[in-house]
Structure 1
Amino acid sequence: MADTSVLEISKAKPIGKRLDAFRDSFSFVCQGADVPETLEVLDIYLTGIVLQNLGLGVVSALQTLPASRLLHSTSGDKNLFSDLLRFLAIIGSNDFDVKRIVPLLRTVLSHDADEAVWYKVYDIVAQSVHKRGDEPSTPPPSEPTRTASFQQTPWTFNTGSFVDTSDLRRNVDPILKDDVEDNLKINHPDVFDTFFGQIPGLREMMSAILQSCKEAEPPLFQEGVGWVEWPERCDETAVLQFLRRHVDQFQQSANDHGFRPSKRRRCITTPNKPIPGSDWSLILVPGELKSNPREDNRSSTWLDLVRYAREIFSAQDTRRFNLGFSLCGLIMRLWEFDRLGVVGSTPFDVNKEGETFISTILGYFCMSEQELGYNSTIAGEGRRYTSIQRDDRTERLYLETLIKLQRSVAGRATRCWKGFAEDLPDQQVVIKDLWEYEERPEEGLLLEEATEVGVKNVVRNYHETVRLGGRVDDVLDNVRKGPSDTGGWNPLQSRAIRPEPVTSSTTSGTSGAGRGRGRGRSRSNSRTVTRKRSSSSIQASMPPPKRSCSDSPVKQDTHRRRNRVHRRLIVQDVGKSICEARSPRGILTGLLGGIKAHESLLDANILHRDISVGNVMLNMAEDDEFLIVLDLAIKTDRTSASGASSTGTKVFMAMGALYREDHNFMHDLESFFWCWQRRVSKFQAWNFESTENLAKIKKCSVDEEDKFAKEVVENLTTYCTPLIPCTKELRKVVFPEGKRWLKEGRGLYSRINSVLQQASNRLDTLE
């Protein structure tokens, strides 16, 4: 059907009302954001995350239309449906400029003619999908003069290190479970006190409402019985009705007693279906509803909530931590998700402990933004800004566009925004927030040292440790507020030892509800969501932990105090990934500059260890280049390892690094080759391979010259055809005779540079 016109297919397979559901979701987003339901909000009011979600929604809707399977592909694939499938991954990446989706949104929301919609789809897809099997990467992290084995930092991978992935549950769930395996505690007695115990007036409010429930006609709550209207069989629909009705009554009763939150919040219940509009940017507190109380002790319940927390962290770029809850039958448990992992409270029976149930519900509705986990150092409703202290004065920095966000729960959680200083509006900067292990060398200090010794092609920066509430913003003391290290246990670790039963959260929780703390502004139009899963999808109960030891070189010592600190860098050099290069020369320029910067760092005794397409940058004119991100870099003369797990981008790691060899500069140089191969390899499946399998796959891809050359010719686009000879030569240099290097040699720098420079000279002759 490639020759059939768009107009003919549009008439044969009309869109009709099939996009109305998406248009309804746009209405829902506008209502939730409290903005007018007009097309102008696409340019003025809606944030990048909201636009990204709308883009995902409209492309998903277009994919379901029959015409998408008849219209021709823009890249030689089977049909437009295939292009849209890859385009979904592109929209979800951090490289995508969400403003590019606005014209398509306008066309769909304006009810334009079918052919106008499809022409607009072709315009945006043609700009983004260059070739079959190639999607832009989401820049994350990877791994580094020879360092002794005792200097090496153990490493693991989490969902923040995925590249070019569509985030299918079958792929994400196993790694998400591994992500929190060492970082989960349940039955911690301090959770309620920590997050609810200091809300002003909560205890008095709870007492007044509980008394009102007892005195109502007929009574809502009775001692020895519990909640009178609680459904006996915990049927899904009945429990959701109970929650909606009683939450509204709690709010009304609180209002009648003079307890009025500054902003009204709503409870959303969406059983077995996505939230309308799938807009996680509006969700304050996720909840998981199960019908069976035994499911409170099953890993599937906890991992469902971890998945929701990951979505919220991904949709809300200023979230420091998340609070949530699970309700399994009558058993309720409170949860906290942060950059160290997950903490669950002791469970309680909502019928036997009505005070705690009321305090929990009211607490969620009365918390300030900061108490709900938002970063109050970033302020402003429309034009967001943050402030830094430099040279004894306060500077205001405005945040314009989110350009990088790691999709993970525990981890560094890197966020980067493009912005500018208030007094220098024409000079762009990048504001980077991340959560580093406190024992790691600060990335900002390494960049500062590199600048002082004259390292070439490395970003210039200012750095500081974020302070919130007059304290250093870290997880253990500022987020979790110093809960007992001895409380709770980890059910996912066989080596854990289950402690003696602890007291219910009611015992300690409600007693502290009256202690006050300074209030922040409440977040408007915010919501709580509950969701129910059928019992057929639940895993078996977790077995009781056994006393044993692990000899794994990757996992951490769980008895060691681990902490992450919130740090911020202001980077003066703004650029783009080599994947966004407009020409083959841009790609060459990026790699030449990246390798020059890497060798210059090595001369300063700094090993980068994080070579990936997201960290080799071009300036916007594509005539200069630089390396970014030193958060995994180490000093080559250090005498001990930091002890924290490092995270790498597996698809770019050297084979030896995947085999867990001591990381040295040769591994980084091989990573530059895999960055180059980014354009000819199908990386998506690589995210989910084991490290050893991936090393074998990489070896097979380069060991035979004829096979390698055939793959290069078949996969490179016309755009990159001039680079075919260079690609073949790079393989010969990095893998002599198709084999991994066995000896270190700094001569590899000059050999790679020679190949790239010759390719650049050939381009001169072609031009």
Structure 2
Amino acid sequence: MQSRKEDPLYPEGREGWPWLAGKMHAEEVPFWTWLGGGPWGTPCAVRLRNHDPTQNIGRRPLAQPSSPVGGSTAKRKLDIAFVDDPNATENTRCHWSQILVPGELKNDRIEVLSAQDSRRFVPGFTLCGPFLRVWHFDRSGGIASEKFDINKDGCRFITVMLGFLRMDQKQLGFDPTIVTVDGTRCIEIERNGEKELLVIDEVIGRAHCIAGRATTCWKVHRKGSSTQLVVKDSWQYPERDEEGKFLSEAMEKGVINVARYYHHQTIRIDGRDDTTETARKGLGVKADEEASKSVVIRGKSRKKKQATGEKRSSDSLQAPLPPSKRTRSSSPTKATATIQYRVHRRVVVQDYGKCIYKATSRALLLSALDGCIRGYQSLHERAGMIQSDISLGNLMVNEEDDDSSQKAFLIDLDLAVKEQREGFSGARGKTGTRAFMAIGVLYGEKHSFMHDLESFFWVLFWICIHYEGPGKGRVVKRFEKWNYMDTEDLAAAKKGVIDHEKDFLRTIEDISPHTTSP
């Protein structure tokens, strides 16, 4: 490889190149070692800087196939990756937050997206024998390039590796609206025609997934003010009503005990709405049936494993928490389904709290539940809305002494609909969180006010069964499967719990003392 004939960058040519012939892992390990520690490691960055002093190479490829990467619950190893530390060595302990471009993807793409709260998408690459593919993972899934033989097309391989070395932050998938000002991470918003900086205090939560809404929540405060706010980022179907507009309308109509509106926007990058379609820059899906099937199958399999893994690996505080909300569909995903692009939206609210199952006493829990029910009634009566996803994570309690936030309130109008509106609501099939969906909704009935009231019962039932006190949860295998059952089977299971008084009372015997003792 050379940039000018008279000044070759690599005069030794292919010297030391580990020839890959088959698909055996035994061949790939020395190749990763060569790629991460040979001419593509620190020496590569040094050569590039010496060749062009204007180059600022702040990363390097690193091979650590035997060392687990920090930042995940399970011990996950990474064969090769481009990391943000140009001085990293094979003995450096890396964290998932440092991974810029993962190689040999496996579960790595999920860990990278989860560990980096400002990441919109992740590029990556795989090597199967001598065949390399470049990948792009975003909230609509993953797409891959055509494979090519690095032995036969070495220049193309070099071009790809140099591309990973020289991509800027935006090209790597980082959100340019999340900036660092005076050493502090901030979120830029444009409100009432003026730019505001929201200082990030902490990450409240980030969905552990690839495709989907991928909701991220931050606790923030406006620069120059101590008032707390909450920012919610998510990737929505563009045809859905905007949650921010619903929250704004609810506030205008005097709805109580629902998160109070502050701001909402669709994120714009380079003058365009930030969508998974624009992030792919017109890249289509290769008509390669085998490749497309592998993506869909891996996604489905990983989804199930991850949901189960979160249950089994959770500590006593989080053991019973069900998977995050999703839109349920009565038909399975097909490999040939059309790609569903998503748009990047941001909502800012004025209320901060914690999920009601974390309430420090039974009295506070029940008081918060009552407040949330009143909030739902107010939302329905004053704004004509049905929330459509009453669940454990959407009912909040605030036990802090200050008066800046409501003491109990509903959040998340992602799936909300206007009751009086007819026609298509933007919802895709059955909506809600499985464990708390009303029996009628599971059977396919049109979502109603009474269905959401029933969901409040299932939230209370779930808390009673799974929690022994503040911060003390337990896994109850009988009900764990509610998170994954077919919707009609789940409806029948729920009917079995409440249809017969004796059976229900027998189930109640398992309720923890924290919720039944005087």
**SS class of match (1:420):** strand
Q: Does 1:575 align with 2:371?
A: no
Q: Which residue of 1 aligns with 2:487?
A: 691
Give the corresponding residue for 1:619: 398
Name the residue aligned to 2:473. Answer: none
Aligned to 2:515: 720
For 2:251 and 2:358, how far apart are their aligned partners in 1?
A: 26
Q: Does 1:239 align with 2:21?
A: no
Pairing partner for 1:588 from 366, 379, 390: 366
Higher share in strand:
2
Equivalent-residue separation in structure 1 for 2:70 and 2:380 (angstroms): 51
Query: Residues 196-230 of structure 1, C-alpha deviation per residue, up to 9 Å, x if partnerless?
Result: xxxxxxxx9767799544x31xx426xxxxx7542
Deviation per CA, 1:545-580: give whole Å up to 9, x if none: xxxxxx975658967673211111110111221011
Q: Which residue of the partner structure matches residue 635 of structure 1?
A: 418
Q: For the structure 1 residues 207 and 553, does the alpha-carbon distance in structure 2 shift closer, same or farther, using more than 3 Å as the test? A: farther
Alignment partners' CA distance in 2, 1:229 and 1:556: 40
Structure 2 residue aligned with 1:199: none
8 Å contact 2:49–2:56 — kept in the other structure? no
Letter in 2 for 1:392: G
Matches within 5 A, 1:187-202: none
Cα offset, 1:383, TM superposition: 2.2
1:230 aligns with 2:8: no
1:399 aligned to which of 200, 223, 237 = 200
Residue matched to 1:280: 96
Whether 1:376 and 2:176 are equivalent positions in the alignment is: yes
Measured in 2, the distance between the counterparts of 1:576 and 1:597 equals: 16
Contact 1:210–1:355 (CA under 8 A) maintained in structure 2:
no
Q: CA deviation at 1:327?
A: 0.4
2:449 alignment partner, one of 659, 665, 670: 665
Cα distance, 1:673 vs. partner?
1.0
AA aligned opposite 1:349: D
CA contact (8 A) 1:322 1:373 kept: yes
Asked if residue 709 in structure 1 is aligned to residue 499 in structure 2, the reply is: no
Instruction: Label 1:228 to 1:595 Cα distance change in 2 as closer, same or farther (>3 A).
Output: closer
CA displacement at 1:701 relative to structure 2: 2.6
In 1, the alpha carbon distance for the partners of 2:501 and 2:169 equals 58
Change (3 A) 1:631 1:276: closer
Counterpart mapping for 1:414-425 below 5 A:
414-425=215-226
Amino acid at match of 2:280: R
**2:167 & 2:14 partners in 1: Cα distance?**
25
Pair 1:460–1:655, CA change in 2 (3 A): same
The counterpart of 1:309, out of the listed 85, 106, 109, is 109
- Secondary structure at the aligned position of 2:373 is classed as helix
Scaled by the length of structure 1, the TM-score of the pair is 0.53
Mapped to 2, the partners of 1:646 and 1:209 lie a distance apart of 66
The code of the aligned residue for 1:584 comes to R
| Equivalent position SS for 1:246 | coil
Aligned to 1:343, the other structure's residue is in SS state strand
CA distance in structure 2 between the aligned counterparts of 1:487 and 1:276, rounded to whole angstroms: 34
Give the secondary structure class of the aligned counterpart of 1:629.
coil
| Unaligned residue ranges in structure 2 (runs of 5+) | 73-94, 296-328, 467-475
Aligned to 1:674: 458
Rate the CA distance shift 1:645–1:385 in 2: closer, same or farther, 3 A: farther
- Gap runs ≥5 in structure 1: 1-203, 222-226, 289-303, 497-550, 723-765
Listed as ranges, the matches of 1:430-579 within 5 Å are 430-461=230-261, 462-477=263-278, 479-484=279-284, 487-489=286-288, 491=290, 553=331, 555=333, 562-579=340-357
Give 1:259 deviation, angstroms. 6.1
* Structure possessing the higher relative contact order (Cα contacts under 8 Å, 6 or more residues apart): 1
Report if the CA contact (8 A) 2:440-2:451 is conserved: yes
TM-score (norm 2): 0.77
Q: Give the letter aligned to residue 515 of structure 2.
A: C
Describe the shift of the 1:709–1:561 C-alpha distance in structure 2 as closer, same or farther (beyond 3 A). closer
Q: Deviations over 1:254-302 (max 9, x none)?
A: 23321664243232323365236753222111111xxxxxxxxxxxxxx
Provide the C-alpha distance between the structure 2 equivalents of 1:675 and 1:208, rounded to a whole number of angstroms.
70
1:262 aligns with 2:46: no
The answer on whether the counterparts of 1:554 and 1:645 sit within 8 Å (CA) in structure 2 is no
Letter in 1 for 2:368: G
Query: How many angstroms does 1:367 deviate by?
Result: 1.2
Change beyond 3 A, Cα 1:258–1:418: same
Q: Equivalents in 2 of 1:208, 1:668: separation in Å?
A: 71
Cα distance between partner residues in 1 of 2:484 and 2:188: 40
Distance 1:287 1:206 in 2: 26
Specify the alignment match of 1:608 in structure 2.
387
Q: 1:476 offset after TM fit, Å?
A: 0.7
Task: Tell me the secondary structure at the aligned position of residue 380 of structure 1.
Answer: strand
Deviation at 1:403, TM superposition (A): 0.9
CA 1:590–1:336 in structure 2 vs 1: closer, same or farther (change >3 Å)?
same
Cα distance in 1 between the residues matched to 2:268 and 2:2: 32
Tell which structure's C-alpha radius of gyration is larger: 1
- SS of 1:286's partner is strand
Aligned counterparts of 1:609 and 1:493: Cα–Cα separation in 2: 33
Do the aligned partners of residues 229 and 405 (structure 1) sit closer, same or farther apart at CA in structure 2, a change above 3 Å counting? closer
Q: Identify if the C-alpha distance between structure 1 residues 605 and 493 changes in structure 2 by more than 3 Å, giving closer, same or farther.
A: farther
Deviations along 1:433-483, one digit per CA (max 9) or x if unpaired, are 111111110000111112222222211111111122232211112x11223
- Which structure carries more helix by proportion? 1
Pick from 409, 425, 439 the counterpart of residue 655 of structure 1.
Answer: 439
Aligned residue in 2 for 1:345: 145
Q: Quote the residue 1:364 is aligned against.
A: 164
Deviations 1:143-163 (A, max 9, x none): xxxxxxxxxxxxxxxxxxxxx
SS in 1 for 2:255: coil
- Work out whether residues 275 and 344 of structure 2, in 8 Å CA contact, stay in contact via their aligned partners in 1: yes
SS at match of 1:669: helix
Once residues 659 and 210 of structure 1 are traced to their aligned partners in structure 2, the CA distance between those partners, rounded to angstroms, is 71
Q: How far apart, CA to CA, are the structure 1 residues paired with 2:2 and 2:212?
A: 37
Superposed displacement of residue 346, structure 1: 0.7
CA distance in structure 1 between the partners assigned to 2:70 and 2:351 by the alignment: 40
Comparing 559-568 with 447-456, greater Cα deviation is found at 559-568
Among the aligned pairs, what percent are the same residue?
A: 38
Aligned partners of 1:308, 1:209: CA distance in 2, in Å? 41
Alignment CA distance shift 1:493-1:379 (3 Å): closer
1:409 aligned residue (189, 201, 210):
210
Task: Provide the C-alpha distance between the structure 1 equivalents of 2:7 and 2:502, rounded to a whole number of angstroms.
Answer: 77
Q: What's the offset of the Cα at 1:666?
A: 2.3
In structure 2, what residue type is equivalent to 1:585? Answer: A
Q: CA deviation at 1:333?
A: 0.1
Partner in structure 1 of residue 496 of structure 2? 700
**How many Å apart are 1:488 and its aligned residue?**
3.8
Deviation readout 1:657-678 (Å, 9 max, x if unpaired):
2333332222211111111012
